[in-house]
Structure 1
Amino acid sequence: MSAVSPTPPSPSRRTGARVKSPELLLAESGADLEGHGLRRTMGLFQLVCFGVGAIVGTGIFVGLSDSVAEAGPAVVVSFVLAAVTCIFTAFSFAELGGAIPVSGSSYSFAYATLGERVAFLVGWCLLLEYGVSVSAVAVGWSQYVNELLDSVVGWSLPAALSAGPGDGGVINLPAIVVVMMAATLLVRGIRESARATAAMAVLKIGILVAFCAIAFTAFEDGHLSPFAPEGMAGITAGASVAFFSYIGFDAITTAGEEVKNPRRNIPIAILICIGLVTLLYCAVALGAIGSLGADAVSDKPAALSLVVDKVTESSVGGGIIAFGAVVAIASVVLAVMYGQTRILMSMSRDGLIPRVFERVSPKTRTPVANTWIVAVLFAVPAAFSSLDVVVNLTTIGTLATMAVVNVAVIALRRRNPELKRSFRVPLYPASPVLGVGFCLYLMYGTGWTTWVQFVVFLAVGALVYALYSRSRSRLVREPQGRAVPGPTEG
């Protein structure tokens, strides 16, 4: 069967912009499904589990203590503020994911609305959200592996082998191990990965619910006073840190070509995940602070295990929490690496990065070379970096892409009002405008040093686009917009 669209849609010819129409994106996606590309195997339940798997991990198990250090007991408000930002943007993701169900997520949405240059920079920022966050998550995993070993066998790995130079070690071997384990599972196939992610998602939700049940038995009102010791500034800073806990929900849209009935299931899965995770986070934060107080939780890497140990006066409960954290954070590495490989695949299809990233194994229907390149590339910073170094940079890059997604909803409504949409943003256009505003507000809270790093990162991305990607774009080299299948491996 031919993999070429019989009536190929053409790209936009607007002066000064290279915009790929939604029809062309969908045509290319359809072409890749004719025996050359990805396989639709994920249902709604698996997609929700995939979303929870991508979200719940380091941010709550490790990062909670950092948020508490900024906001005190008002960290609950910080989580709500971060959630509101996500909810407005989740509406936008839901509309775009239902209208353009392809693998590229924010990158593809920007390409269809704001042009190739913006799309490339969005894809460049997604290296922070997905790629760099893999490194951050892997570092957090290492911390809980040591906590688990200490609880179970009474010893832990030496600092030289379980932390990077910034944290007093030499190399973080557990961080490398979890990245390579995730890559191994991903190259086996999406069905196997989805099953593993679903099992881990159910387990970690159960662990967090159990934590809340234990923590609330020791709840004391006095531990919530003073509620906001640093005022609104502390709440804002706490929300910027807490936002890291929500990173990953948009990974649901990267599965657009591997989901059954994506126009229906993607919007539903996004909204379920945000609602479920927000309730869980607020309950965990309230339970942790209410049981021991903000000072006892602040700046403790394995705060949840500490709370359970203190409340139960035993190390057994803390060991169970540490086990849950090990599983939870491993599932985040798996889900986020999946999202990164699918975005790179979309960029490679468009000619903006080398073609090796779009090659799909005919045996497993997965991008094998892409996955191993990503694994090696981000195992290096995981082995040698501190968690604190990458969290703020990951957060600001993610917020920037989310702001673009909110703008993309408005642009697509104006450019393609007739496009089929299975979900529409409520209170349009107020909702996406507020989404942009909240994203910028939390970006402000990351601090000026993070802004400097981010501007430098964007400048490097703009240079890469100008010197490499622009001249290799297939949108220009294939002006008829023909949908061609990606190459296969082997």
Structure 2
Amino acid sequence: MISIGATLGTGIFVVLGEAVPKAGPAVTLSFVIAGLTALFSALSYAELAGTIPVAGSSYSYAYATLGELLAWICGWCLILEYGVSVAAVAVGWGQYLNELLDGTLGATLPGALSAPPGDGGLFNLPALAVVLLAMAFLLGGARESARVNTAMVAVKIIALLLFCGIGVLGVRSGNYAPFMPLGMAGVSGAGATLFFSYIGFDAASTAGEEAKDAQRDLPRAIMLSLVVVTALYVLVAAVAVGARPWRSFTGSEAALAAIMKDVTGQGFWATLLAAGAVVAIASVVLTVLYGQTRILFAMSRDGLVPRVFSRVHPATGAPRANTVIVSLFCGVLAAAVPLGRLADATSIGTLFAFALVNVSVVVLRRTRPTMPRAFRVPLSPLPPVLGFALCLWMMGSLSAVTWAVFAVWMAAGTVFYFVYGFRRSRLATGARTSTEQTRPEK
């Protein structure tokens, strides 16, 4: 439920409107390509999650297999992935909140307070509000957060199935032609953007130290969540582009609600879907924010980021200071940056981290071949190699601006590591301590 909760939401409710203008009706193929890329990486995640069941996701796997420097790079990418995706998800939440308010109260929030600068607004207040709401649940501890998330996941699946059941009534065969109006380049470009939709299937791996039987359950959770999410994504996308001409998706961040209104001619169904989307997207914020705090917890425990991120509350076991700091940062980011830029920045950080996970599987198979594994990637090393290649291919489909942002982010991370983490890490301090113990007394 954590993995489905972190994955199923913004990609189909919001980012679909960003991807359809790039690929046309072939956006369904884009979902499949992004899903296959995620699948190969998911196999690697499943093996590592069952072998190294600790908090920290791919950061911890890289630390155990590739060393501290590459682990830092992976963790820095995960901070970009989780932190920025929380902000992107929160932006989409505000769009559906307006749909809900319009359908129930006949009023919407002022544009200046419901959109970031660059999208016609001054400050996205709903985006900040949903992050702070998720923060309140997380401060109660993992068990309480998981219960809330489970209820939200049920609501979002029902909402998407409801859309398919009603939306199919408006499907017109002419809307699928031409199927690939912008060619394969458009399909791959949309796939790179839509990879954002699959971010989160690895969220279960951040809970490695809070699961009852991590070695058995983490691989199952990762694979099952990916299958469920991919099936729903392709089904919903096929209905959406069949019920509405692909060109009309441009600039539509609440496309599914608009389709419901067009098909039925009534606002009730669109309002009902908007209510489901509000719950669905809020659960993504909750679970992704949870993952971000656990990754920083693992990095802090290794000394690579300040110790404040690994302090836990004695009653709830939650890293409270960590949760508050991360939530405030993500909330402000969500309120100030447009969705498209956030989605692409998230995708490139995720793809880079996934590429390292695929490498980690191959390295660990060679360095520790006899290590007990609850799950083994079949036909290895072929799937990890394909996963690595697909990640690089999709990274190459992203814009030059996104690459520039990524380069700046990585440069800042490298500086931070050598100025702070390299000197204070567990490996560095451990090495110094052991050296000092071997010195003779004066």
Tell me the TM-score range normalised by the shorter chain: over 0.9
Matches within 5 A, 1:390-405: 390-405=342-357
The one of 128, 131, 155 aligned to 2:107? 155
Secondary structure in 2 matching 1:422: coil
Q: Report the AA paired with residue 39 of structure 2.
A: I
Kindly state the Cα deviation for residue 299 of structure 1 after the two structures are TM-superposed.
3.0
Equivalent residues, number: 434
* Residues 153-187 of structure 1: CA deviation (Å, up to 9, x unaligned): 11000011111111111111111111111011001
* Residues 18-49 of structure 1: CA deviation (Å, up to 9, x unaligned): xxxxxxxxxxxxxxxxxxxxxxxxxxxxxxx1
CA distance in structure 2 between the partners assigned to 1:405 and 1:342 by the alignment: 18
Kindly state the Cα deviation for residue 294 of structure 1 after the two structures are TM-superposed.
1.3
Please say if 1:301 is aligned against 2:250: no
CA distance in structure 2 between the partners assigned to 1:96 and 1:205 by the alignment: 28
Matches within 5 A, 1:358-437: 358-437=310-389
CA distance in structure 1 between the partners assigned to 2:398 and 2:336 by the alignment: 23
CA distance in structure 1 between the partners assigned to 2:248 and 2:82 by the alignment: 31
* Residues 288-320 of structure 1: CA deviation (Å, up to 9, x unaligned): 111122123343111000110000100111001
The one of 259, 264, 280 aligned to 1:312? 264
- 2:303 aligned partner: 351
* Residues 116-175 of structure 1: CA deviation (Å, up to 9, x unaligned): 011111111111110111111111111111111011111000011111111111111111
Q: Report the AA paired with residue 463 of structure 1.
A: V
Please say if 1:66 is aligned against 2:27: no
Closer, same or farther: CA 299–338 of 1 in aligned 2, 3 Å = same
CA distance in structure 2 between the partners assigned to 1:472 and 1:450 by the alignment: 31
CA distance in structure 2 between the partners assigned to 1:474 and 1:264 by the alignment: 29
Question: What TM-score do you get using the length of structure 2 for normalisation?
Answer: 0.97
Kindly state the Cα deviation for residue 479 of structure 1 after the two structures are TM-superposed.
4.1
Following TM superposition, the consecutive aligned residue runs of length 4 or more in structure 1 with deviations greater than 6 angstroms are none
- 1:220 aligned partner: 172
- 1:241 aligned partner: 193
Matches within 5 A, 1:250-261: 250-261=202-213
Matches within 5 A, 1:1-20: none
Cα contact 2:341–2:402 (8 A) shared by 1: no
CA distance in structure 1 between the partners assigned to 2:244 and 2:400 by the alignment: 33
Cα contact 1:186–1:334 (8 A) shared by 2: yes
- 2:68 aligned partner: 116
* Residues 41-92 of structure 1: CA deviation (Å, up to 9, x unaligned): xxxxxxxx11111001111101101111100000000000000000000000
Cα contact 2:171–2:243 (8 A) shared by 1: yes
CA distance in structure 2 between the partners assigned to 1:311 and 1:299 by the alignment: 19
CA distance in structure 2 between the partners assigned to 1:467 and 1:427 by the alignment: 42
Matches within 5 A, 1:15-54: 49-54=1-6
Cα contact 1:403–1:439 (8 A) shared by 2: yes
- 1:461 aligned partner: 413
CA distance in structure 2 between the partners assigned to 1:88 and 1:299 by the alignment: 32
Cα contact 1:288–1:297 (8 A) shared by 2: no
| CA RMSD across the alignment | 1.2
Please say if 1:284 is aligned against 2:239: no
Question: What TM-score do you get using the length of structure 1 for normalisation?
Answer: 0.87
CA distance in structure 2 between the partners assigned to 1:265 and 1:449 by the alignment: 39
Q: Report the AA paired with residue 311 of structure 1.
A: V
Kindly state the Cα deviation for residue 199 of structure 1 after the two structures are TM-superposed.
0.4
Identity between Structure 1 and Structure 2 (%): 52
Please say if 1:338 is aligned against 2:338: no
Cα contact 2:80–2:345 (8 A) shared by 1: yes
CA distance in structure 2 between the partners assigned to 1:348 and 1:64 by the alignment: 36
Runs of at least 5 residues in structure 1 that lack an aligned partner in the other structure: 1-48, 483-490
Kindly state the Cα deviation for residue 480 of structure 1 after the two structures are TM-superposed.
10
Kindly state the Cα deviation for residue 481 of structure 1 after the two structures are TM-superposed.
10
- 2:401 aligned partner: 449
CA distance in structure 2 between the partners assigned to 1:369 and 1:313 by the alignment: 48
Cα contact 2:31–2:230 (8 A) shared by 1: yes
Q: Report the AA paired with residue 270 of structure 2.
A: G
Cα contact 1:475–1:481 (8 A) shared by 2: no
